[in-house]
Amino acid sequence: MKYHQIDRHLFIKNRSKFTAQMKPKSVAIFNSNDIYPVSADSTLPFAQHRDIFYLSGIDQEESILLLFPDAPYENQKEILFLKETSELIAIWEGAKLTKEEAFAVSGIKTVYWLQDFEKVLAELMTYSETIYINTNEHYRAKIETETREARFVKWWKEKYPAHAVAKSNLILQRLRSVKESEEIDLIQQACNITELGFRRLLSFVKPNVMEYEIEAELIHEFIRNRSKGFAYTPIIASGNNANVLHYIENNQQCKEGDLILLDVAAEYANYSSDLTRTIPVSGRYSSRQKDVYNAVLRVKNEAAKMLTPGTLWKNYQYEVGKIMTSELLGLGLLDKTDVQNENPDWPAYKKYFMHGTSHHMGLDTHDYGLLYEPMQTNMVFTVEPGIYIPEEGFGIRIEDDVVIQEKGEPFNLMKNIPIEVEEIESLMNS
Ligand SMILES: [Mn+2]
């Protein structure tokens, strides 16, 4: 891992919050992700399943975490099963966690090698009545592959058909959406690395630069600061590419007079950040670009103020829509009759701002969180309004990440990342 080891007390806390929600005499199991093959013997880089990471800090393939708070013996209450390692295996296969290292990372004392899993589980199943399976119920998930977790769930339910089945997902959705202070610090670190990348590209961007050259500047800055890289596929969209919401080709030349929409951010220790800025290729916004930019910025600032404990996501989205509507009227993009005749299911503003304003962010960029429940202190949300105008050849989105506070406005984790027109122009021209 490139990141500094995380204090294991975070994972100890996370486990105790999870087990407090489990039914009596129940076992929960969490699996690592597979390493995905490309072809022949090449593979995609490993990305840990966020749930086993959240509960243990174990960032290694072929790992299993078992939680059994009512186990009859103390050493059965939490168990890790890891890929076997030894000095000899390490020489051939590379270093993997030893049992001592696994304890240091996770705080879990009972660690077995993976080959003992079925035998150890068989005993625990005789003491238990319910199994907690971990299904993926994220509102945006669309999964075509069978994950290691899904494969395991199938096997487990078939092997032990007399056990009742319960869901881990609902517990995790609630727990993971409210961040511990250690987690906020890690997200802040991801944001700080993103800031370094953004400042670096401000002095790099010039007319005729290729979008992928900007991508290369960012990845260089991210990795040299202990990030694994981008938290999500970067969008570096000049001119009208900004009006393709999921443009990820990043292969066009940035032309003088155009804007570049940059939805680019670093991960750190598996925690995301999520930034969008829109900057002028030539270092100066035109007056029209500036007007639209400042309209988006005002919507962002007003929207953020509404992220307070008790707010319902749906009402928030509705209120942001009203603010956006008035800005679009001011820019002459909508007129009064557009608004009077609008379809309440698809209001007029959606012509120029067609996506949501905010999502939870944390271990996943689009993190866990139940959008139908009121917002709470220490939830982390993005705020990312945009105005997209294909007829004028540009699209503008501005995005920050904020933490909901008990009182007052949310804390902006990106408050140091240049955002005002004057600051961006002066940094680009210095
Ligand atoms: Mn976002």
Give me 313's structure tokens: 């996501």
Q: What is the pLDDT of residue 306?
A: 98
Mean pLDDT score of the chain: 97
Residue 92, pLDDT score: 86
103-120: per-residue pLDDT in tens? 999 999 999 999 999 999
143 Cα: distance to centroid of ligand 1 (angstroms): 20
Tokens read off for 125: 């199943």
Q: How far is the CA of 314 from the centre of ligand 1 (A)?
A: 17
Distance 242 CA to ligand 1 centre (A): 14
151 C-alpha to center of ligand 1: Å? Answer: 30
pLDDT per residue as tens digits for the range 12-63: 999 999 999 999 999 999 999 999 999 999 999 999 999 999 999 999 999 9
pLDDT score of 93: 82
pLDDT higher than 90, residue 75 = yes
b or e along 210-247 (b: 16 or more beta carbons within 10 Å of the residue's beta carbon)?
Answer: ebebbbebbbebbeebebbebbbebbbbbbbbbbeeeb
Q: What are the tokens at 91?
A: 């020489």
Nearest CA to 390 out of 243, 203, 273 is that of 243
329 bridge partner residues: none
Task: Catalogue all structural domains in the chain, each as residue range(s) with its CATH number.
Answer: 9-176 (3.40.350.10), 181-428 (3.90.230.10)
Measured in angstroms, how far is the CA atom of residue 401 from the centroid of ligand 1? 8
d(CA 191, ligand 1 centre) in Å: 13
So what's the pLDDT on residue 260? Answer: 98
CA atoms of 396 and 297, how far apart (whole Å) = 10
Closest CA to 65 of 24, 121, 147: 121
Pairing of strands 386-389, 380-383: unpaired
Whether residue 220 has pLDDT greater than 90: yes
User: Are 128 and 32 a contacting pair, CB within 8 Å?
Assistant: no
DSSP string, 114-183: GGGHHHHHHHHHHH-SEEEE-----TT----S--HHHHHHHHHHHH-TTSEEEESHHHHHHHHHB--HHH
SS3 content of the chain, % helix, strand, coil (to 5): 40, 20, 45
Ligand 1 centroid to Cα of residue 157, in Å, is: 36
Q: How many whole angstroms from 262 Cα to the centroid of ligand 1? A: 11
Top pLDDT among 142 and 8 is at 8
Q: Which helix (H) or strand (E) holds 27?
A: strand 26-31
The confidence band for 94, taking pLDDT boundaries of 50, 70 and 90, is confident
Give the Cα separation of 158 and 155 in Å (integer). 5
Ligand 1 mean position, distance from CA 348 (Å): 23
Distance in Å, CA 264 to ligand 1 centroid: 9
Q: Is the pLDDT of residue 180 over 90?
A: yes
**Phi/psi at 14 (5° precision):** -60, -40
Taking only the tens place, the pLDDT of each residue in 292-328 is: 999 999 999 999 999 999 999 999 999 999 999 999 9
Farthest CA pair distance, the chain:
76
Q: How far is the CA of 112 from the centre of ligand 1 (A)?
A: 39
What was the pLDDT predicted at 295? 98
> CA-CA distance, 91 to 9, in Å (whole number)?
31
Summarize pLDDT for 349-385 with one digit per residue, the tens. 999 999 999 999 999 999 999 999 999 999 999 999 9
Q: What is the mean pLDDT of residues 191-216?
A: 98
Q: Which residues contact 366 (CB under 8 A, 6 or more apart)?
A: 138, 140, 359, 360
C-alpha 359 to ligand 1 mean position (Å): 7
**% of the chain with per-residue pLDDT over 70:** 100
pLDDT of residue 139: 87
Smallest CA-to-CA distance from 59 within 1, 98, 107, 12 is with 1
Name the residue with higher pLDDT: 88 or 422: 422
